[in-house]
Amino acid sequence: MDPGDRTPDADVLATVGAGLARHPHDGLVVVEAVRDGSGRPVDVLHLWTNAAAVANAGRPLVGLRLREAYGEDSTLLPVMLDLLGTGRQVVTEVEYATDAADPGLHHRVFTVFLTAVGPDRVVCQYRDVSAERHAARRLEHLAGHDELTSLPNRRLAYEHLGRALARLDREGPGLAVMLGDLDGFKAVNDVHGHAAGDEVLVAVAADLLAAVRPHDVVARWGGDEFFVLCEGVERDAVDELVDRVCAAVTDRDLRGGGRASVRLSLGACWTDRPEGPDALVQRADERLYRAKRDRARRSS
């Protein structure tokens, strides 16, 4: 017989269990079914835990039912009840939000491995993977967002535009695309420094978000350039929309002293046809150039 085919004897299994019980990070828990008068499982009771499980929970668990220990946060209870008596194994992940009843669970993420043993018991092994998951999400966010303003970046803006164009219905309203940049922004950097310039960009991002609807997209296109996408817009509403967005950007006092004088020049185009996003952006860019040229002529 191949040694690899041998079934572990009781001593081997006991050795494995004793070793895992001392795991410094993985919580280990054995629970047993609690049944009602009709024999239906309604909860589980903590029979045994290792030290890591106690540390994760922040309190002893043995002798407590899952509902007693976690109340509304007993996310795994339905999974455990479904496993009872099946002999099956389940691997899942549990994440707790900031409204979890237990403050110790806020923002925590656990990878959980559960095994049904016999008719009434479940063995649960779990690890806190919060740091890894939060770091991965941070990297994912940075891949599609501007680090300074937290707005979507150009790549993500293009994705939003492509999906919006694909949703267009010729019988319904269209969408408006706006490209803008800040007149006077170079002077802010030159006179007050780049920290002041960053302060202005963050403030302008907030102003633009406040000027549009919650489901509209505001993105940082690059440098002092911004992109705005508004779906469900009629053609005759675009001029009013442009005026509102431009009016949102005004002079402002700087935290370090002094005043930044900036204005938003904006080029907008509208469509109700699912055309290519590059062509739409190019039209908006051409109209931005004309808007800047006309403003320069008026001020000269």
Catalytic residue annotation = 224
- Rounded to 10°, the helix 154-166/277-299 angle is 120
Nearest to 46 by CA among 56, 282, 279, 257: 56
Length of the chain: 300
In whole angstroms, what is the distance from residue 54 CA to residue 40 CA?
28
Signed CA dihedral, 221, 226, 232, 237: sign only: negative
Please say whether the beta carbons of 116 and 88 come within 8 A: yes
Rounded to the nearest angstrom, the gap between the alpha carbon of residue 41 and the centroid of all alpha carbons in its chain is: 36
Please say whether the beta carbons of 124 and 89 come within 8 A: no
Please say whether the beta carbons of 264 and 203 come within 8 A: no
